[in-house]
Amino acid sequence: MPSNVEIKARVDSVSLLAQKAGALSQSDGTVIKQRDTFFHCSHGRLKLRDFMDGSGQLIFYERPDSDGPKLSRYSISPTSDPQTLREVLSCSLGVKGEVLKERRLFLIGQTRVHLDTVEGLGHFMELEVVMRPDQTVEEGQQVARGLMEQLDISEASLVTGAYMDLLLQTRSAPQTS
């Protein structure tokens, strides 16, 4: 199964981070709109990513819910009919929830840097160091930590879990008046 080392962090200044990522990638990044539908499954996470252009990906992944660079193993299957696939999976597994986001993707070496605006949550950054077959997890973690330093991402801004987990926590938090 392919793997990557990844981190997720809250972002205070979207423009500053975009400027730094743009300089490192020597690009303006690519904007991608996504709707991720998460389904109930017995282990790991299963989501359907709809690019809202008639294409999508069914993605299964496993990774620990911890902050800092962590290994994620995943399988991806492309689809040209995400709406019908969503209906089938919804009926068979049940929907855990949906995440709507606008992602700005920067490629820096072997790392995908995502600057995400997530509906209902705010602004985040994800690093995904795409592992080569000959690389160790520790080497991937070193690449991630090096980029964290170059992008000025502090340990205090790191978050655990998936956006879906954060949305579910926000919805279940007691409301104050």
CATH for 3-169, options being 3.20.20.100, 3.90.1150.10, 3.40.50.300, 2.40.320.10: 2.40.320.10
- Structural domain boundaries of the chain? 3-169
**Residues listed for the chain:** 177
- What are the residues whose beta carbons fall under 8 Å from the beta carbon of 76, sequence distance 6 or more? 2, 57, 58, 59
Q: What is the pLDDT along the chain (177 residues), one digit of tens a residue?
A: 899 999 999 999 999 999 999 999 999 999 999 999 999 999 999 999 999 999 999 999 999 888 889 999 999 999 999 999 999 999 999 999 999 999 999 999 999 999 999 999 999 999 999 999 999 999 999 999 999 999 999 999 999 989 999 999 988 766 555
User: Among 152, 105, 115, 147, which Cα is nearest to 129's?
Assistant: 147
Radius of gyration from C-alpha coordinates of the chain: 16
pTM above 0.75, yes or no: yes
List residues bridging with 75 in a β-sheet. Answer: 60
For residues 102 and 113, is the Cβ–Cβ distance under 8 A? no
